[in-house]
Structure 1
Amino acid sequence: MARVLVLTGDAAEVLDAMYPVFRLREGGHEAVVAAPTTRPVKLVVHDFEPDCDAYTEKPGHRLPVDLAFADVDPERFDALVIPGGRAPEHIRTHPDVDRIVRHFFDHDLPVGTICHGPQVPAALGLLRGRTTAAYPPLQVDVEQAGATFVDAPDVVDGAMVSCRGWPDLPEWSRAFMRVLAKVPQRA
């Protein structure tokens, strides 16, 4: 089965981070969580409430981390997932993130982005000419990065699968698992 790197950090949305990890493991794949350091990351809960124009944020679970970004050898992974929340705006400037993320795009390997996750490849110039979903208020950011924004739960552009946020995770997961199934199996 595939070995999938989940690239995250503090303030990732709890469902955006944990749902893919559990779904990948349920499907028999190895999900390896990487963050700036190996201490558990502090996840947050984003919820939509009628008296709030955006979303509210509350403390969530802690997610164990397997590898620090500096220790990631992207050659050892078949796919990448970048969960949303506020983590992408912070990790996109980490010195090792460019090296890691660029590897998956350069080798046309599966990349899944959820909610704010497209902020990472956008910051690296990797969305130019692609089609992607994202948290809807990021439409202008995605378009400024040279991509076409689609407001849908499971946008597939080659090996890249994206969605708007945690309410889309069932559709996103099915699409990502189909793309992942096309990856040659490791010996």
Structure 2
Amino acid sequence: MARVLVLTGDAAEELDSMYPVFRLREGGHQAVVSAPTTRPVKLVVHDFEPDCDAYTEKPGHLLPVDLAFADVAPEDYDALVIPGGRAPEYLRTDADVARIVRHFFDRGLPVGTICHGPQVPAALGLLRGRTTAAFPPLKADVEFAGAIFVDGPDVVDGNMVSCRGWPDLPEWSRAFMAVLEKAALAT
């Protein structure tokens, strides 16, 4: 059983956040949700509607939080997931998030990013030389961060698994679980 840390916050996309938590638990792993504080985070639902040039955003469910970023000891975890939505936009500036995310990248541990999730490692200079998917309008951002952008549902670059957004979650989940299992066999 792996212990997987899920970094999230208010305005994280509901499916990007809840699907990995449930899939990890279904697979026998422990998913631990972390956010700026321990109060439940307010998730949002993003959808694509024919009369809108961008995605729409509606209120989503509350997601219980297990511990605050400041209380995370990253060495207690085997992998990391960074869901998308608007949360990565402000989480990427949090000093504890930087400390946590660097730990996983520095040690080559599994890291999953979904939709806008790559904004966090991009802001920390951790995508340079990597290949990643992201929400397609972020292509310029990830390329500016030194990454190669791939428009795909399950992009695997070593220990990192990324996707474009919630429609890709079945493919992303299979790929992330495979990377997680491979890492477990290696230890």
Q: Same fold (TM over 0.5)?
A: yes
Match of 1:126 in 2: 126
Letter in 2 for 1:62: L
TM-score by length of 1: 0.98
- Cα separation, 2, equivalents of 1:34 and 1:93: 15
Q: Spell out structure 1 runs of 4+ moving beyond 2 A.
A: none
Range 176-185 or range 31-40, more displaced: 176-185
Q: Deviations over 1:92-143 (max 9, x none)?
A: 1111011000000000000000000000000000000000000000000000
1:9 Cα shift?
0.3
> Residue 104 of structure 2 aligns to a residue in which SS?
helix
Match of 2:11 in 1: 11
- Cα separation, 2, equivalents of 1:139 and 1:46: 19
> Residue 43 of structure 1 aligns to a residue in which SS?
strand
Report percent identity of matched pairs: 85
Match of 1:34 in 2: 34
What RMSD in Å do the two structures reach over aligned CA positions?
1.0
Letter in 1 for 2:27: G
Letter in 2 for 1:174: R
- Unaligned segments of structure 1, at least 5 residues: none
Match of 2:64 in 1: 64
Alignment of 1:43 with 2:43, yes or no, is yes
For residues 8-157 of structure 1, the aligned pairs below 5 Å read: 8-157=8-157
- Cα separation, 2, equivalents of 1:29 and 1:165: 22
User: CA contact under 8 A between 1:2 and 1:183: conserved in structure 2?
Assistant: no
Q: Deviations over 1:11-67 (max 9, x none)?
A: 000000000000000000000000000000000000000010010000000000001
Aligned length: 186
- Unaligned segments of structure 2, at least 5 residues: none
1:184 Cα shift?
2.9
Letter in 2 for 1:158: G
